[in-house]
């Protein structure tokens, strides 16, 4: 059987930095973008030659172009990147191929171009459908833009996902349910719901410090998330991962591969790869990236076990006790207690399969860290 991999490509450019953003993304002129695209294509072709020989000619199951804002690239730039992937790797005809897009940079011409390049899934950064809120967090689009662009995108793509942020100022669970309703009415098949995370050195951090922004507190955020999650599940979406909801058959195969610890190759600045049990991380800025700086890390058995447990408990599938090498989880007193309390559920059909009861998803961080004590 051929070895299967996923590919991630990082496009770090954005039109404007959002107030809450801590990702590796920045504004750049066309010259910088073109220079980066050349470096990126060069990395894809050079590294593919090595990987194809060492991986016994791997075949690609999923491709994900993320950022930053990949939709900011013009048709020529994105075509160059995607054609380089096709020229460097064998890709399944039915591979899932996602591109991230922001409403303000989606155009009909770009949608046509992406479709012609075999992109078949769009992940749109909606975040909120409240104009005041969008302006405060520095988004460039309005509610009207987001809904119009999703409607347009749906003419070209069946599989459209939208991101929402939970915890923004004055945005209750009821508001979030209304946003979800508007998105589902347009045929969105997948919704990712992220909690607002406030990092130091972001504009929103100082806005909060100066009393200019009041995100929901923890209790309000949990309650809003719970309302939204209940609403989406009532609409027949499956919560297949803590933050992700999808109709059957529309789960993100690319993310599932990460969570199942499948192999992947990442290209571009800050991109991560995971091959042969080794993690690689590309340099985080263009200058170091030019000189091909890559950090490698081999996970120890214990760390691997912890990762299996952590990733497994985030997903509906859970983790397999028999796959652990070092950790004897059944001897962990927290594990025993959590199973007794119904917080962890052992599968009826396979006594080695353990998953987190969805009612306790909001406590996942505490539960996981207790299991590692
Ligand atoms: S569009 Fe996304 S990556 Fe770009 S600044 Fe905003 S949150 Fe960050």
DSSP 224-286: HHHHHHHHHHHTT-EEEETTEEE-TT-S-HHHHHHHTT--EEEESTT-EEEETTEEEEE-SSH
CB distance 130 to ligand 1 below 6 Å: no
Task: Check whether residue 123 and residue 222 sit in a common domain.
Answer: yes
Flag whether 307 is in a domain: no
Task: Check whether residue 337 and residue 252 sit in a common domain.
Answer: no
The verdict on whether omega for the bond into residue 68 sits within 30 degrees of 0, i.e. cis, is yes
Query: Would strands 294-298 and 319-320 be described as parallel, antiparallel, or unpaired?
Result: unpaired
Residue ID of nearest Cα to ligand 1 atom 5: 17
- Nearest CA-CA partner of 14 in 84, 64, 66: 66
Q: What is the pTM of this model?
A: 0.93
Asked if 267 and 40 count as a contact pair (C-beta separation under 8 A), the reply is yes
Four-residue CA torsion sign, 167, 369, 355, 306: positive
Task: Check whether residue 322 and residue 253 sit in a common domain.
Answer: no
Task: Check whether residue 15 and residue 159 sit in a common domain.
Answer: yes
Pick from 65, 69, 165, 168 the residue to mutate for probing ligand 1's pocket: most ligand atoms within 8 Å of its CB: 69
Could you list the residue range(s) of the whole structural domain that residue 237 is in?
4-259
Flag whether 167 is in a domain: yes
Q: Find the 195 Cα to ligand 1 centroid distance in Å.
A: 15
Task: Check whether residue 216 and residue 326 sit in a common domain.
Answer: no
Last residue of a domain, one of 243, 259, 275: 259
Task: Check whether residue 27 and residue 176 sit in a common domain.
Answer: yes
Backbone angles phi, psi at 238, to 5 degrees: -95, 135
CB distance 14 to ligand 1 below 6 Å: yes
CB distance 113 to ligand 1 below 6 Å: no
Last residue of a domain, one of 209, 241, 259: 259
Where residue 63 sits, what CATH number does that domain have? 3.20.20.70
Question: What is the count of structural domains for the chain?
Answer: 2
- DSSP label of 72: G
Distance CA 157, CA 180 (A): 19
- Looking at the DSSP assignment, which residues form a beta bridge with residue 66? 10
Flag whether 115 is in a domain: yes
CB distance 126 to ligand 1 below 6 Å: no
Flag whether 287 is in a domain: no
- pLDDT of res. 355: 93
CB distance 124 to ligand 1 below 6 Å: no
Flag whether 87 is in a domain: yes
Last residue of a domain, one of 259, 294, 328: 259
Task: Check whether residue 339 and residue 252 sit in a common domain.
Answer: no
Task: Check whether residue 190 and residue 68 sit in a common domain.
Answer: yes
Q: Find the 60 Cα to ligand 1 centroid distance in Å.
A: 27
Flag whether 269 is in a domain: no
CB distance 67 to ligand 1 below 6 Å: yes
Flag whether 54 is in a domain: yes
Query: For each of the chain's 373 residues, which pLDDT tens digit applies?
Result: 788 999 999 999 999 999 999 998 999 999 999 999 999 999 999 999 887 776 567 899 999 999 999 999 999 999 999 999 999 999 999 999 999 999 999 999 999 999 999 999 999 999 999 999 999 999 999 999 999 999 999 999 999 999 999 999 999 999 999 999 999 999 999 999 999 999 999 999 999 999 999 999 999 999 999 999 999 999 999 999 999 999 999 999 999 999 989 999 999 999 999 998 899 999 999 999 998 887 888 877 888 889 899 999 988 889 999 999 888 999 999 999 999 999 999 998 889 999 999 888 888 889 998 988 7
Inter-CA distances, 210 with 199, 202, 203, 214, Å:
15, 13, 11, 10
Task: Check whether residue 55 and residue 196 sit in a common domain.
Answer: yes
Distance CA 233, CA 241 (A): 12
Task: Check whether residue 86 and residue 215 sit in a common domain.
Answer: yes
- DSSP label of 170: T
Flag whether 286 is in a domain: no
């Amino acid at each position: 059987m051929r070895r299967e991999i996923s590919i991630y490509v990082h496009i770090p450019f954005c039109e404007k930095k959002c107030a809450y953003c801590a990702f590796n993304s920045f504004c750049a002129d066309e010259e910088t973008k073109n220079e980066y695209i050349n470096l990126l294509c060069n990395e894809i072709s050079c590294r593919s030659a090595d990987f194809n020989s060492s991986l016994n000619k791997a075949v690609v199951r999923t491709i994900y172009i993320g950022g930053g804002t990949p939709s900011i690239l013009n048709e020529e730039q994105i075509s160059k990147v995607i054609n380089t992937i096709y020229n460097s790797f064998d890709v399944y005809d039915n591979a899932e191929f996602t591109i991230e897009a922001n409403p303000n940079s989606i155009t009909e011409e770009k949608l046509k171009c992406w479709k012609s390049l075999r992109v078949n899934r769009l992940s749109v950064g909606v975040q909120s459908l409240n104009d005041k809120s969008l302006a405060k967090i520095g988004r460039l689009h309005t509610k009207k833009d987001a809904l119009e662009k999703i409607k347009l995108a749906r003419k070209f793509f069946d599989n459209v996902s939208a991101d929402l942020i939970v915890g923004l100022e004055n945005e209750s669970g009821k508001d979030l349910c209304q946003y979800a309703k508007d998105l589902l009415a347009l045929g969105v098949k997948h919704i990712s719901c992220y909690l607002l995370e406030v990092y130091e050195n972001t504009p929103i951090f100082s806005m909060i410090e100066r009393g200019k922004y009041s995100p929901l507190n923890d209790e309000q955020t949990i309650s809003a998330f719970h309302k939204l999650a209940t609403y989406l599940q009532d609409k027949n979406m499956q919560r297949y991962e803590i933050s992700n909801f999808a109709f059957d058959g529309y789960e993100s195969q690319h993310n599932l591969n990460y969570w199942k610890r499948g192999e992947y190759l990442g290209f571009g600045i800050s991109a991560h790869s995971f091959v042969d049990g080794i993690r690689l991380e590309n340099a985080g800025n263009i200058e170091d990236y030019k000189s091909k700086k890559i950090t490698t890390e081999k996970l120890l058995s214990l760390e691997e076990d912890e990762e299996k447990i952590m990733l497994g408990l985030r997903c509906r599938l859970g983790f397999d006790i028999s796959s652990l090498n070092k950790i004897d989880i059944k001897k962990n007193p927290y594990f025993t207690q959590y199973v007794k309390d119904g917080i962890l559920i052992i599968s009826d059909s396979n006594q080695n399969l353990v998953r987190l009861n969805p009612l306790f998803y909001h406590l996942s961080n505490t539960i996981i860290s207790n299991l590692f004590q």
